[in-house]
Structures are given as C-alpha cells and as structure tokens.
Chain A
Amino acid sequence: MLDRTPIIDIRGVNKFYDGFQALTDVSLSVFSGQRVVICGPSGSGKSTLIRCINRLEEHSSGQLIVDGTELNDETRNIRAIRQEVGMVFQQFNLFPHLTVLENLTIGPMRVRRASRRDAEATARKYLERVHIPEQADKYPSQLSGGQQQRVAIARSLCMETRVMLFDEPTSALDPEMIGEVLEVMVELADSGMTMIVVTHEMGFARRVADLMVFMEAGRIVETAPPEKFFTNPESERCRVFLEQILSH
C-alpha cells in the first residue's frame, strides 16, 4: 500500500540548545499517505521535532531527509523542502495586514510565481474545502479562532505541498471551536494527505492515525499502530501518560 522509500526520513537526530538537549537520537520514517500523530508531555520535544522537518529549527546532528533531499545549510535545499512541506501553527500566524484571500494567494503568487487568477481560483477552492468561502474578503482579526485556524490550513493547502505538519493546531482554541478544525483535518486525512500531527486530541488520533509516536524527554519512547498503542502500549511511561489524558 505504501511507497517503500519514506517521504520523510529522520535518522539519529540530536538537537541541542546551549547546554540543553531537546532531541536525543530520534529516528522516524514517514511514508507518503501516512498519518502520524505525535504525543507526549509538554517539553518532550514534539514541536522541536516537527519544526526541524521544515528547518524552523536546525538539528545539531544526524540526518533529516525530506523527499530525497537532505536538510543541511544549503539554502536551496531548505527552500525546496519548504515548498514540499506545509505547516500549521498553534497560534495560526496569519498575516494580519492581508485579507483572507490575500493570505492564501501570496505564497503561490510570490513563491510559485502563479498568476493572480490561478492563485485566486486555488484559494477559493481550498476556502470551500475548509468551509469558509464567504470569509474571503475579511481580515484575520475579524474571524473567530477556529475560522482563523481553518484559513491557516487553507493557506498551507494552497502551496499544494506533499506533507503537512500540524503543531498543536487546536491548543490555542476555545473548546467549542476545536471540533470544526478537527473536522477539516479528518477530511484532509481522508483525502490521502501525508500528515504529521502534534496533538493531545486522542479522539482525533484514534480516528485518523496510521502510526502513533510517544515522546518523552527528547526521545521517541514508543512507536505503534493506534490499535496497539491505545490498548496495549509497551512502555510504562506511555501507559501512565495515556491514563492521565484519557481519564478526563
């Protein structure tokens, strides 16, 4: 079912912030079409790991290969990889001085050199997909948090990337808005997008994940398919963590 070469290949990656080790010998392979959910206590390095994948953070050692291109200091490689890997942030990070439509077209127009007409057509298509076509001409500040996050997802989709990274996409949202964002993410997963999601939403994880990853203190402690992960995890720490977040 899956390609044999992984689209993202992380091999023995370490990451140091002066004196502090954020990632220790992390290895993970993600194949095209796979949905990986990473969970773990805060400070365990989940965000750092996915931010290394599109080089918002630099890894200190080890190898990180995205779609056959190795991430190193080569600026050309970094930009090539960023055009294959989209990212959705916890704080949305929409461009406040641009309308929703402009937020969606600026990437394709400036980075991919698409014409305005093509970029707007693409933008409207993806706004439709995240269920807010009517908000195209508003500014981000006029939207609710849930709508803003859906615009952010659409912005990433407009770049037509092969992989999408989600860094705790629902953590900054009011509870009643989490559902609408997760719904869009489930639809995205169903469409076959390769996704790596850092989240505490275990219901979502159960529904879409092909692979669950549990991290603690900068290490990957457990990697398992969801049916095994949720019912019979191997490590004690993972068991305790799941009990804690599933009990309420």
Chain B
Amino acid sequence: MSDFPETFAPRARQWPLRRVLRSAPLSLVFYLAIVGGIVWLALRGSASMGYNWQWYRIPQYFYEITDQGFQWGEIPIGLVATIGLSTLAFALALVLGLLVALLRLSDLVVGNAVAVGFLELVRNTPLLVLLYLFYYVLGPIFSLDRYWASVLCLAVFHAALISEIFRAGILAVPKGQWEAAKSIGMTTGQAYRWIIIPQSIRMMLPPLTGEMVHMIKSSAIVSVIAVAELTTIGRNIISDTYMSFEIWFTIAAVYMVVTLALSVLVSRLERSFTVKR
C-alpha cells in the first residue's frame, strides 16, 4: 500500500508551467512569433542588400487575361507537368516495388539476391548521381530522351523505398491468414491476391502517401537536366526577371499546397476504409 502514493507522486509534482505552455492560445503566440521572426529577418536581410521586391509581377505567371481571354500562366503549366511526371513515375514505382517486394519475400534464392542487390544499389546512390547515370549513361544506350530518363530514374529510386513499404505491410498480416488461405487450397498467388494484399493495403496507405509526397518533391531534381516541370519553370522565370526571392517563395508554396492537399485527401480515404469494417 505504501508504494501507491509514491508511484503517483510525479503527477502531483507536475510542473504547473507545462500545462500553460501546452495551451492552444500560447502555442499560437509562439508560432506567430517564430514565423514573424523569420519573415522579419528575411525582410531586413533583403532590405540591407537593397533587394527590390516585385510581388506585383508574380500573378502573371499564374494566369493572364489577354485579348484571347483567360490563359494559364507558366507556373500552373509547370505544376501540371510535375504532377504528370510524378504520377507516371509513381505508377511505375508501384509495379516495380511490388515485384521487388515479392521477389524478396519468395523462397527463391536468386530472386532474393536480385532484390537485395537492387535495393542496396539504389538506396546507397545519391538521387542526383542516379539521375546522371540514367541520362548520360543509360540514356544513350537505350536511346531514352530526357523525359523518360527522368521518369525511369524517379521510378527506380522510389521503387526501392516502396518495396520496403510493401514488404512491411505484407509481413504485418498474421501467419494464420496464410495458413487459412492455403488450407482451403489457394495457391500462393491466390492467397496474395484475395487474402494478403487486401489486408495489407490499409496498413500501406499512410506510408505510400508519404512516398507520393516525397516523389513530387524529389521530381524537382530533374530540373538539372532541364526537363520542363515546376522547378525548371521557376529557374527559367528567374533567369528572365532576376526575381529569385519572390519566385522561389512562390514555387515552394505551390509544392506545399499540392502535397498538403494530397495528405488530406488520403486521410479521408483512409477513414472510409476503416468505416467499411
């Protein structure tokens, strides 16, 4: 009995300030103070270097209303290209990732070795080097243009990460599910298709969203081989206008809006998955 008060003592002695610090209004104040500080520093810095802010010139890169009517600007066009590129690469990465995961989970010694070799090779190469390999080495050999070199490079890079997500999701399904599937006569393929994969998808969805967000962000790297997409467009506008501050802030914000929207969408989707059960 004497142990009881002692066990609970820390709660009574809890630092009262902690509760104050955790309150929502105070968090907001802190947040605003930090953001305000960063903005102030940026403004002061730009002022001291005599930066000439020209935000009014930004909207024309989103849309223009000319004699022909409404026209999309360069940034939305770049964004569509980025999303197209990322989606295509992601679709390929899903297929390749599943293949690698299944190879790795199989009892085939060769398959396993191939999968592990692929994983280690891709995971231990910087993305930029991988891109150069695809564009300057594999490109001429397989006559890939810069667009397909980029798509394949991104697909291969993310397939390695996605295959680990698949593997973890598949391994998280209890062994009894395999045994039940086999005991009703299913082949390994049927068990995967009807029993294992449907159950692991729910577990894979959050990390896969993370990978899609990651993909959209890492697609910016293809600007180094001048594939037309959001970051390349940003660089082009800057080389015309020298508005590097405004344009990079804008481009970053556009990426953020897209990736945040994606996260919200998937968390909705996830909820509808759980309600079904």
A residues apposed to B, CB below 8 Å: 54, 56, 79, 82-83, 86-87, 89, 91, 93-97, 106-107, 110-112, 139, 141, 155-156, 159
Q: Could you name 28 residue pairs across A and B whose Cβ atoms are closer than 8 Å? A: A56-B179, A56-B182, A56-B183, A79-B185, A79-B187, A82-B183, A86-B183, A86-B184, A87-B179, A93-B174, A93-B177, A93-B180, A94-B180, A95-B180, A95-B199, A96-B199, A97-B199, A97-B277, A106-B184, A106-B194, A106-B195, A107-B184, A111-B185, A111-B186, A111-B190, A155-B180, A156-B183, A159-B184
Asked if A93 and B184 sit within 8 Å, CB to CB, the answer is no
B185 CB to closest chain A CB, in angstroms? Answer: 4
Asked if B176 and A89 sit within 8 Å, CB to CB, the answer is yes
Complex Cα–Cα for A110 and B195 (A): 11
Asked if B185 and A159 sit within 8 Å, CB to CB, the answer is yes
Residue B37 is within 8 A (CB to CB) of chain A in the complex: no
Complex Cα–Cα for A93 and B174 (A): 9
The count of residues in chain B whose C-beta lies closer than 8 Å to any C-beta of chain A is: 18
Residue B198 is within 8 A (CB to CB) of chain A in the complex: yes
Asked if B190 and A87 sit within 8 Å, CB to CB, the answer is no
Q: Which residues of A contact B183 (CB under 8 A)?
A: 54, 56, 82, 86-87, 89, 156
Q: Main SS of the interface on chain A?
A: loop
Among candidates B177, B182, B194, B277, residue contacting A82 with C-beta atoms closer than 8 Å: B182
Q: Which residues of A contact B176 (CB under 8 A)?
A: 89, 91, 93
Complex Cα–Cα for A56 and B179 (A): 7
With both beta carbons as reference points, the residue of chain A lying nearest to B181 in the complex is identified as A95
B20 CB to closest chain A CB, in angstroms? Answer: 42
Q: Which residues of B contact A87 (CB under 8 A)?
A: 179, 183
Asked if A96 and B190 sit within 8 Å, CB to CB, the answer is no
Q: Which residues of A contact B194 (CB under 8 A)?
A: 106, 110
Q: Which residues of B contact A139 (CB under 8 A)?
A: 277
With both beta carbons as reference points, the residue of chain B lying nearest to A84 in the complex is identified as B185
Asked if B180 and A89 sit within 8 Å, CB to CB, the answer is yes
Among candidates B180, B184, B185, B198, residue contacting A97 with C-beta atoms closer than 8 Å: B198
With both beta carbons as reference points, the residue of chain A lying nearest to B187 in the complex is identified as A79
A16 CB to closest chain B CB, in angstroms? Answer: 19
With both beta carbons as reference points, the residue of chain B lying nearest to A159 in the complex is identified as B184
Asked if A89 and B179 sit within 8 Å, CB to CB, the answer is yes
Taking A93-B177, A93-B180, A94-B180 as contacts, is the C-beta distance between A107 and B186 under 8 angstroms? yes
Taking A93-B177, A96-B199, A97-B198 as contacts, is the C-beta distance between A141 and B277 under 8 angstroms? yes
